[in-house]
Structure 1
């Protein structure tokens, strides 16, 4: 019974001993607010822990307090602590997140477009790093004093970012509005002879200075055409590499259609050459074995005009 009482008394004494622990600097401090307090830097600061001792680092930055800095802070605020080894230090970090670059570019684009820049231009911002704000902050972003030179396409402005828990940041930004043009890119690798389907293309804008003459700029210039050369994914289509899609293959059986006022006849034939929609080709009538010129009007179908003259196989109109 006496032993149990001694253990109980020892247990009651532990909190009192913990409360009497000497102050000690924290090795790593995560500052959530703009102001640092004594209790952020020192453990066991007691009633002094709420004392403001200075500004925290800006969001996304850090600072290091060495033994002499810590001793000066303790002495200035009446905290009974002195360095023991001279190696003590506290690393103070302030969490932060960068302002989304796309938000900055959208505001900047609107301003320089108002001053005459092309709204589709690519904004070149050499050396620009988005400002960092507190993690939970909802920043207010503004573009101040924008300017734009139409001859050089260069612009300048001041980016102002304000958020709770930080001083307003103003950053000078300069750059150039680079002209862009629409292009059509391959969404996958396409081999020779393949027809381009709607899902095979992607429309995008690229810097005009990087686009070769003869590059396809509209999807309708590409879809339905056949490739004369293979193309890799993410490469632009060149118009010279595209040909009209074949609707009639060489030696393919075809339906020959003869239409005239008040009459419509069909016959079986064989294409002696390949043809795209609307192209002329020689076709052999399988009944008469004669070869006439026809026009491809659809997959496996050709139209023969009344009075079409027999022709030598291989002749193209």
Structure 2
């Protein structure tokens, strides 16, 4: 276990953020000792857990799973468990004893879905409903675009596949907002809405989303995160570049999205704030989470430096701003924020 000593407690006590190096003697700025951050990796399958201790140390644990490639993460702190999408095995896996598992030890597998996923990229959870975005081409014909949303119902330690929805667009990030499911339309700057998801989209087969809107200013979106009315969307730009990424902050998102016609465009002016540039370390930001109370955006950056976990405090100023947190994590693929 890496334990990093906090050297400075600043005036940012209310922001709930930290900054650290992954070296044992790295400089650290910290303020709120209740922050927990979890990340997955494409290159190891491990879960990296960051946690503040009451004595002012930051604990960084590497927790082993059955995966060698993981992308998509959900944490239930009340149940002390974590769910990951195991890309190497093609299934959902839930592990318990999250808080008590020591650095370098294996998490205990509690539940797993059948091994049937093709190329899963994200998971969204609403109650006992777990939805996985799978961007493997369904019919094998590159001329047609068709991906899947796998819908599972969880009861205790059992996952039951209830529905397989075939989309007419490539999927990546997904996010529940109430009963609605928002899905990134990969290879575009669009976001699709599946309104009243579990009620209106409960029959296996091809589906058309309720609505699809273009987000002006984004080249190619991947990550999607929502909290308290604000949506964060990441932009990976050119997938071959490790320096042209960014993210957009859209406050009052549901209201703004609803005013745009199906097939229309949500303009940047008056609606969005963009963060991008050489100071951001953003190249391929593939996943994102957001803490509205701390006004903090957490990013899993896949390309820059072979992978980073980044966090931006008060990023709504926009522009070419530096991250408050910049932690190297090889293969960083997804990130999840929670409070104690």
Higher strand share: 2
Larger radius of gyration: 1
Question: TM-score, with normalisation over the residues of structure 1?
Answer: 0.18
